[in-house]
């Protein structure tokens, strides 16, 4: 592949475009009658597959599921427990890029500590790009449990 076809984080233009379109399509399917804040997530796994999710609200409010968490549950169900994240695209249709909440950052970190995060603000806004390590430094990780288990078993 030519250097020109690659952008930062080694994502190709095609991968970025697929992530943007699939995250946006997922956001369009969002069930968000209470907040009207429509969010879609598209996960690029290390095997090249893309898995999407959207936010699903509930009249109890507190049972709302975020787009990113829905996508992770689906990715594990479809691809198994060894999934690793290369990139996560999050689109919202509200014309302001929004960051994954703290719970989503922790959920994503379980499956990829330095995945590229691309945030799409809807219609015409420019995407913002960051990494999971930047969004959740000093994260609680599975390794922390391993050192505990080796002392207690």
Ligand X SMILES: O=c1ccn([C@H]2C[C@H](O)[C@@H](CO)O2)c(=O)[nH]1
The end-to-end CA distance of the chain, in Å, is 49
- Is 68 catalytic? The answer is yes
b/e burial code for range 11-33 (CB count within 10 A of at least 16 → b): beeebbebbbebbbebbeebebe
The residues, ordered by sequence, that sit 6+ positions from 54 with a Cβ below 8 Å of its Cβ are 26, 27, 29, 30, 31, 38, 39, 40, 41, 67, 70
- Tell me which stretch binds Zn ion (CB under 5 A): 22-30, 80-88, 102-110, 124-132: 102-110
- Tell me which stretch binds ligand X (CB under 6 A): 31-39, 110-118, 121-129, 145-153: 31-39
Of 7, 13, 29, 35, the one binding ligand X by CB under 6 A:
35
The site map against ligand X for 44-73 (x = CB under 6 A) is: -----------x-x------x-xxx-----
The residues, ordered by sequence, that sit 6+ positions from 92 with a Cβ below 8 Å of its Cβ are 27, 37, 38, 39, 40, 98, 120, 121, 122
Can residue 99 be called a binding residue for Zn ion (CB under 5 A)? no
The residue from 17, 68, 129, 146 that is catalytic is: 68
The site map against ligand X for 89-118 (x = CB under 6 A) is: -----------xx--x--------------
Residues at the interface with ligand X (CB under 6 A) = 32, 35, 37, 39, 55, 57, 64, 66-68, 100-101, 104
């Amino acid at each position: 592949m030519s250097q020109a076809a690659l952008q930062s984080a080694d994502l190709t233009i095609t991968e970025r475009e697929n992530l943007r379109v699939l995250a946006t399509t997922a956001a369009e399917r969002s069930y968000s009658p209470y907040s009207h804040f429509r969010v879609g997530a598209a996960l690029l796994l290390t095997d090249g597959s893309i898995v999407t999710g959207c936010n699903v609200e509930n009249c109890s409010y507190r049972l709302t599921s975020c787009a990113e968490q829905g996508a992770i549950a689906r990715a594990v169900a479809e691809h198994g427990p060894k999934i690793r994240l290369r990139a996560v695209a999050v689109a919202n249709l509200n014309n302001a890029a929004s960051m994954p909440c703290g719970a989503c950052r922790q959920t994503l970190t379980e499956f990829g500590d330095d995945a590229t995060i691309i945030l799409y603000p809807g219609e015409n806004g420019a995407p913002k790009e960051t990494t999971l390590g930047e969004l959740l430094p000093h994260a609680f990780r599975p390794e922390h449990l391993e050192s505990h288990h080796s002392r207690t078993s």
